[in-house]
Each structure stands twice: as structure tokens, then as C-alpha cells.
């Protein structure tokens, strides 16, 4: 079986997928470094981005192997926090919850479609978004979020190494969707001015997502306050108004619910091993445990008067 046959079967199951030679992975560091040298992206942002990415092929990978980028539909998840006798709903955008489970499932699904004995390996920290764009699977929106026809921006990306060639594969320069020409809804909705009119790339250092994914002991800057905060992680402002997403918005998935005593524990920022067993299990079930260090800071801005509870 050819790798293209497995990719086609994945798409028949509701995923979207594309494959490129594994050697393309190492080229992407140069892409980010060039943008940083030209001042197109903030150098501090570029340094943090590159430090968290896997830009080398897995150990022992064949030079003729491939990378398969798989897109799986995802939804907004609504989390509920008991607070001062009320319930505060805080959304989480697609891609944050169940991320490792979804990646494992997509990787296993691809492996099952390949001949027995073909090596596959899920690359959790690959530059999924840029790989999706360069492979032709996705296109950038003006907001620098990627979009796929039929999925909009509401999907999760997984990158899987497969020990099979992919017959070349597309390798395109990043470009903006034609639908973005003349449309500025995302820029108008951005609470921090991170989406500029004078260039294609986002001003990442102004983006809400950039700040609320920083380590939990780093406070939000003074200028990032009030209604700019709209999610537990990430930001939904530009995605909710995008015309490309209107057909896929749907209802939010009901996520975890935390009693008021659990909310107070989360605000105190305990280490995962010090959390009550039931609370820890709930966080682990929803892949929130790895975000536990961010929760005191990120959650407090959504709960009136929570600053003094931590």
C-alpha cells in the first residue's frame, strides 16, 4: 500500500490529511529564524516558539520517510467553575483539551491503515500549523490562524512520521486565504490590536493567546486587562466573527465542572501531586493537568474578586 492510499482512507473517515518528505521538517527552523531576523516577528516570541518545537526527524528515521499532517474536527469546550454561589462558564477554544489523546488516536488510526511493520511515530511538538500550510492542507487567515475547507479553524492537528515515501508531496509558500482579501472582521474584533492592516503576520507579542500561554508565574501586562480576557487559554474573538467559521461553530461541548471548593484550590496553584485525588483525576481526564500551573493566573481574571483568593 502507498502512503497516499492510507491518507485517502483517513479522509474517508472524516479527517483531512497531507504528506510531505520528512526532510522538510528541518527547513522550518530557517523559516522562523528568517522572519525574526527581518523583524517580522518579535525575537522573544521566535525564541520561545523555537525552544518548544521539534524540528528534527525522530531518531533512526529513514531519509525516505514522510510526515503526515492530520486534521481532526474539534469544538469549543465550556468549563464551569463554582464561584461565590454562582457558576461561571469559561470557554476553551479548539486544540487545547484532550490534545494528547486526540493525537494518539489519529496516529493509531493512520498506523492501522498501513502495512504491518511500517514504523510510525507521533511528533507531539512538531510545527503542525506551518506544516499544514506548506503541505497545502491549510491556508492562513488574516488572523494567522489556519483554516481548512469544511473545518474552518475548528480542528486539531497531529503530525505523524511514517517510514514510507510520499511521492514528493506539495511544498507551498505560506499565503492568506482569498476570502480574507478585503475582510477585516478579525482585526476589528481583536481586543489588543494584534492583527495589523499593514502586513500578513500577526503581532504575536500583542496576542492574548501568547500571554496566557506563558508560565503561570509571569503576570499579565497592565495593558492586557478587562474584556480582553475571554477564554481559559487562547482566545476566540477573531474566530467567532470569521465568515469561514460560521458554518462550523455549532454548540460548545460541555466540559468539566468544578465545585466552588475545587475552584478555590485551583486558584491557589497547588502542584499536581498535592491536589485532591478527585480533582486531579478530573483535570487529567480533560488534559487540563498540564495547564495546572497557568490556571491560577488565567482563571482569576474571569472570577470577580478572585485576585485575593490565590
Distance CA 149, CA 243 (A): 12
**DSSP assignment of 17-36:** EEEEEGGGGGHHHHHHHHHH
Where the chain has pLDDT below 70, the residues are 39-43, 46, 49-50, 199-200, 308-310
> Does a structural domain hold residue 309?
no
> Does a structural domain hold residue 247?
yes
- Tens digits of residue pLDDT in 282-299: 999 998 998 899 999 999
| Tally of domains in the chain | 1
Residue 114: give the domain boundaries. 3-168+176-303
> Does a structural domain hold residue 58?
yes
* Maximum distance among all Cα pairs of the chain, rounded to whole angstroms: 61
Under a CB-based contact definition with an 8 Å cutoff, are residues 87 and 79 in contact? no
> Does a structural domain hold residue 118?
yes
> Does a structural domain hold residue 310?
no
Which pLDDT belongs to residue 310?
42
User: What is the dihedral sign for C-alpha 266, 268, 273, 276?
Assistant: negative
- Tens digits of residue pLDDT in 157-176: 999 999 999 977 789 998 88
> Does a structural domain hold residue 246?
yes
> Does a structural domain hold residue 9?
yes
> Does a structural domain hold residue 308?
no
Query: How are beta strands 66-73 and 77-83 bridged, if at all?
Result: unpaired
Closest by CA to 71, choosing from 142, 119, 14, is 14
Amino acid at each position: 500500500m502507498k502512503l497516499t492510499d492510507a491518507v485517502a482512507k483517513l479522509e474517508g473517515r472524516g479527517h483531512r490529511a497531507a504528506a510531505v518528505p520528512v526532510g522538510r521538517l528541518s527547513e522550518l527552523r530557517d523559516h522562523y529564524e528568517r522572519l525574526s531576523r527581518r523583524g517580522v516577528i518579535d525575537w522573544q516570541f521566535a525564541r520561545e516558539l523555537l525552544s518548544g518545537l521539534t524540528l528534527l526527524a525522530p531518531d533512526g528515521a529513514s531519509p525516505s520517510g514522510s510526515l503526515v499532517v492530520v486534521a481532526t474536527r474539534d469544538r469549543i469546550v465550556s468549563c464551569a467553575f463554582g464561584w461565590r454561589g454562582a457558576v461561571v462558564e469559561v470557554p476553551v477554544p479548539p486544540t487545547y483539551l484532550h490534545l494528547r489523546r486526540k493525537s494518539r488516536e489519529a496516529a493509531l488510526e493512520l498506523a492501522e491503515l498501513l502495512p504491518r511493520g511500517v514504523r510510525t511515530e507521533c511528533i507531539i511538538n512538531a510545527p503542525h500549523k506551518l506544516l499544514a500550510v506548506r503541505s497545502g492542507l491549510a491556508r492562513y487567515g488574516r488572523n494567522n490562524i489556519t483554516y481548512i475547507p469544511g473545518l474552518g479553524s475548528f480542528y486539531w492537528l497531529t503530525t505523524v512520521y511514517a517510514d514510507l515515501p510520499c511521492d514528493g508531496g506539495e511544498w507551498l509558500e505560506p499565503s492568506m486565504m482569498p476570502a480574507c482579501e478585503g475582510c477585516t472582521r478579525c482585526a476589528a474584533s481583536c481586543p489588543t490590536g494584534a492583527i495589523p492592516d499593514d502586513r500578513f503576520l500577526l503581532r504575536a507579542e500583542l496576542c492574548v493567546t501568547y500571554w496566557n500561554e506563558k508560565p503561570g508565574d509571569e503576570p499579565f501586562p497592565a495593558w492586557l486587562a478587562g474584556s480582553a480576557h475571554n477564554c481559559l487559554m487562547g482566545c476566540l474573538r477573531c474566530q467567532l466573527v470569521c465568515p469561514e467559521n460560521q458554518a462550523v461553530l455549532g454548540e460548545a461541548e460541555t466540559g468539566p465542572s468544578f465545585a466552588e471548593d475545587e475552584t478555590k484550590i485551583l486558584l491557589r496553584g497547588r502542584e499536581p501531586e498535592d491536589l485532591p485525588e478527585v480533582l486531579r483525576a478530573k483535570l487529567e481526564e480533560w488534559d487540563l493537568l498540564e495547564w495546572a500551573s497557568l490556571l491560577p493566573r488565567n482563571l482569576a481574571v474571569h472570577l470577580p474578586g478572585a485576585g485575593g483568593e490565590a
